[in-house]
Amino acid sequence: MERRSFVKLSAFTALALTLPFAESCSTNSKEMAVAQPLLFSHLVDAKAIREAGLVYRKTHTVEDNQQKLSQLLLSEKETASLSKDEIESMLDKQVTNDFKAGNTVMVKGWVMSLTEARQCALFSILKS
């Protein structure tokens, strides 16, 4: 193999291997912290989260909007002043409180807190 061909092939291979990772870095880190249902993400993969989010958005058309979902989960003032870890902790507490209060919905056979369902919906918008 010629040296020039080898270098081109190596560059294309490196590019092909890094593109999937570039997609995950494309959205704001804090925005993804809001959209990532922590407990649910330990049980299922990203595809299942996206599918649950799509189902929730179809059944709750009033909330089928990125700004509306972000606002319902956390206000912009809160996310601006908090770190990613603080956002995750705050949403985790909201999920716990939802379950304690019986504030749950059935989505694709899963009993989810309303907060988790909204996070899945936001995730499906950000990862579509």
pLDDT attached to residue 51: 96
Q: What is the per-residue pLDDT across 33-62, written as a single tens digit (0 to 9) for each?
A: 889 898 888 899 999 999 999 999 999 999
Task: Identify the helix (H) or strand (E) that includes residue 94.
Answer: helix 84-101
Share of the chain above pLDDT 70, in %: 75
Q: What is the per-residue pLDDT across 105-118, written as a single tens digit (0 to 9) for each?
A: 999 999 999 999 99
CA separation for the pair 103, 97 (Å, rounded): 8
Closest CA to 106 of 96, 117, 95, 98: 117
Closest CA to 120 of 54, 61, 68: 54
CA separation for the pair 97, 117 (Å, rounded): 14
CA separation for the pair 84, 27 (Å, rounded): 13
Closest CA to 118 of 68, 77, 78, 79: 68
Q: What global pTM score does this model have?
A: 0.75
